[in-house]
């Protein structure tokens, strides 16, 4: 099996093509509550192909050395070695004396971008990769992974049809943690 996996990965990096079989994702719906009655009562879990995950892990590892130059020091989400829970402590410190009247006027806003991964525009992502001077071959590999997914829903233990996606990224993908 090891030789076939290695050959498949080498094929991807030499051709820049991601086959539909490798980029197919099975979506299983896990109930959030007992007796779910609507789609919002389920949490979709995506199960990707092992070859896809190996390829994206290789790409992510190759990008790691560039990350400190691309990510602001103020960024704390999705940065290796930084715990996002530290943001909670920071907010507690900031808000501890927020109510005192002798301080200058201020405002606090909490923003949660709902479904952020689902709404990423591939054209915008492509433009950003070019703007930050990611080499063309590397951009080709990244786009092959992100811009050709096929999804299938698992119903009663069986895959039901396949449908393409037109935007978005897979959450917890090595390339989009």
User: pLDDT tens digits, residue range 11-54?
Assistant: 999 999 998 889 898 999 999 999 999 989 998 888 889 999 99
pTM for the predicted model, two decimal places = 0.75
Asked whether residue 37 is domain-assigned, the answer is yes
Is 170 a member of any domain?
A: no
* Residue pLDDT, tens place only, 100-128: 777 777 777 777 766 777 778 888 889 98
| Structural domain includes residue 93 | no
Q: Look at residue 124 and tell me if it is in a domain.
A: yes
- Domains in the chain, number: 1
Residue 8 burial (C-beta neighbours within 10 Å; 0-12, 13-18, 19+)? middle
Percent over 70 (pLDDT), the chain: 95
What pLDDT score was predicted for residue 78? 66
Q: Is residue 156 part of a domain?
A: yes
Res 170: pLDDT: 75
Inside any domain, residue 138: yes
CA-to-CA distance for 142 and 63, rounded, in angstroms?
11
* Residue 20 placed within a domain: yes
Domain that holds residue 42: 2-67+118-164
């Amino acid at each position: 099996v090891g030789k076939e996996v290695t050959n498949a990965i080498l094929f991807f990096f030499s051709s820049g093509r991601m086959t539909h079989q490798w980029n197919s994702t099975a979506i299983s719906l896990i109930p959030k509550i007992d007796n779910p009655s609507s789609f919002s009562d389920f949490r979709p879990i995506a199960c990707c192909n092992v070859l896809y995950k190996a390829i994206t892990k290789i790409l992510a590892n190759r990008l790691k050395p560039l990350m400190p130059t691309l990510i602001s020091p103020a960024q704390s989400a999705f940065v290796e070695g930084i715990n996002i829970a530290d943001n909670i402590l920071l907010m507690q410190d900031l808000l501890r004396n927020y109510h005192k009247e002798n301080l200058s006027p201020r405002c606090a806003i909490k923003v949660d971008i709902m479904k952020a991964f689902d709404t990423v525009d591939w054209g915008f992502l492509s433009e950003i990769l070019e703007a930050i001077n990611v080499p063309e071959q590397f951009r080709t590999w990244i786009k092959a992974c992100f811009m050709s997914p096929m999804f299938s829903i698992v119903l009663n233990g069986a895959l039901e049809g396949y449908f393409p996606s037109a935007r978005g990224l897979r959450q917890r993908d090595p390339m989009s943690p």
